[in-house]
Amino acid sequence: MMRKILFVILMLMIAANTLAVGVAPSRKMIDFESGKVINGEVRVVNPYAEDFSFIVYPSSNIAPYIEIENQKTKIDMSSDEFEKVIKYKLTLPEELEPGTMKGLIVVSELAKEDQDDSMVTSLLTLNSQLIINVPYEGKYLKPQLYVTSEGENTLFTLSLFNLGDEQIDNVRAIINVKSLGNEDIISIDTNTLALNPSGNGKLTGKWEGIKNNGKYVAEIILLYDGKTEKIYKEFEVGKTTITIRDFIASDFRLGAIAKFYMTIRNNWNERIESLNAELTISKEGKVIDRIRSLEESVDPYNDAVLSAYWDTAGIQAGNYNVLAKVLFDDNSYEEPFEIYVSQDKIVTNKLSAKAVSEENDSTIVKVLVILVISLIIVNISWLLVYFKKKNGGQK
């Protein structure tokens, strides 16, 4: 997950430093009214003080309804211009299909070698989006469900949007939490609210005191003004975890084969198909041996016993450290033990337990900090250029 976040941030930084042109606003929301006229503008920004040219045109779905200043004409922008304002006039038709209509005002940067309007090559295309919300007839509710879990509590948030042309007087929901096997676990009632046309609101419900981590299904029964709608969403509480419940060794003779038994508890509500352990045996910081257990599977909330064999030929009696690393479902769990090896038995003692990640979190955090600082510097530089040009223009 951390690697994905790093990749996204890196791509954003690269994009921020390669785009010579910006467009604002990125989107504009419009509530449909028959024959409504919207006079708006799009700002084409030149943050890196470069000479370039561009053209502006609408997407085909809104082309019949919009007039754009200097549409499809090459527009030049010099390095001493910070922005150009392009005005437009949008005249909504008498009717549109109910729902959401997304139109674009497209700004295309042109290659420098294009000196005329007949042949152009686009280097970069950016959009300012016009989102036209056309109401449905009567009562029409659009829900979006979000599930967030923290510790033993899970919060269900149902964002509601009234896309109809009538008021919704009473809306509430019942949240039925089920297992993946469709077994009922708990039923939760939300708050109640009313929604005006084009209005929005939230219903919430909380599942508290969750004892078992795992995957569940939320069945949402949405009730409003005599109508019923169902929504289903799978969600997770916690993460796949295991615990080492016991670590012992069988009786043996020093110099022969010792057998370790490790009892592993699956704390998840799904079966773990692949479960094994690696034991690193050391003395005074020096690794003596590494052994691997046989692979097992384990059912939900059940135990599995892993066994590993250690050849003690050449091993002297005394104290040793064992780091038990359990591998399961692309995860790992480490726990250190101390063992005392005598002539005819091995005594095991648990030291302390800790879950570990496969990644070096501290290194990732450092890289993230460097990237964020670099991004801040880029944005400060952008603002300095903006204010310098703005103040220069006022003189």
Give pLDDT tens digits for 344-371. Answer: 999 999 875 443 334 334 445 566 667 7
Can you state the angle between helices 361-394 and 2-18, rounded to 10 degrees? 20
pLDDT at residue 258 greater than cutoff 70: yes
240 pLDDT band (50/70/90 cuts)?
Answer: confident
Q: Residue 37's pLDDT is what?
A: 96
Topology of the domain comprising 242-350? Immunoglobulin-like (2.60.40)
For residues 3-21, give the mean pLDDT.
49
Q: Residue 193's pLDDT is what?
A: 96
Cα–Cα–Cα angle for 128, 20, 123, rounded to 5 degrees: 75
Give the list of residues 6+ apart from residue 7 with CB closer than 8 angstroms, or none: none
Pick the more confident residue, 374 or 306: 306
For residues 301-319, give the mean pLDDT.
96
For residues 196-211, give the mean pLDDT.
93
Q: Residue 252's pLDDT is what?
A: 86
pLDDT at residue 209 greater than cutoff 60: yes
What's the token pair of residue 285? 């910081």
**Spans of all domains in the chain:** 18-134, 141-237, 242-350, 362-395
CA distance 395 to 389: 10
CA distance 332 to 322: 16
First to last CA, the chain: 50
Q: Residue 373's pLDDT is what?
A: 80
Q: Residue 26's pLDDT is what?
A: 92
C-alpha closest to that of 94 among 52, 60, 134, 49: 134
Q: Residue 366's pLDDT is what?
A: 61
pLDDT at residue 83 greater than cutoff 60: yes
Q: Residue 351's pLDDT is what?
A: 79
CA distance 86 to 41: 5
What's the token pair of residue 173? 């929901």
CATH of 141-237 given 3.30.1600.10, 3.90.45.10, 3.40.50.150, 2.60.40.2360: 2.60.40.2360
pLDDT above 90 coverage of the chain, percent: 69
CA distance 32 to 27: 16
Same CATH fold assignment for domains 18-134 and 141-237: yes
Q: Where does 18-134 sit in CATH, by number?
A: 2.60.40.10
List, for residues 130-169, the tens digit of each pLDDT value: 999 999 999 999 999 999 998 889 999 999 999 999 999 9
Q: Residue 395's pLDDT is what?
A: 47
3-state secondary structure the chain: CHHHHHHHHHHHHHHHHHCCCEEECCEEEEECCCCCEEEEEEEEECCCCCCEEEEEEECCCCHHHEEECCCCCCEEECCCCCEEEEEEEEECCCCCCCEEEEEEEEEEEECCCCCCCCCCCEEEEEEEEEEEEECECCCCEEEEEEEEEECCEEEEEEEEEECECCCEEEEEEEEEEECCCCCEEEEEECCCEEECCCCEEEEEEEECCCCCCEEEEEEEEEEECCEEEEEEEEEEECCCCEEEEEEEECCCCCCCEEEEEEEEEECCCCCEEEEEEEEEEEECCEEEEEEECCCEEECCCCEEEEEEEEECCCCCCEEEEEEEEEEECCEEEEEEEEEEECCCCEEEEECCCECCCCCCHHHHHHHHHHHHHHHHHHHHHHHHHHHHHHHHHHC
As a whole number, the mean pLDDT across the chain is 86
Pick from 15-24, 34-43, 91-100, 334-343: least confident:
15-24
pLDDT at residue 265 greater than cutoff 70: yes
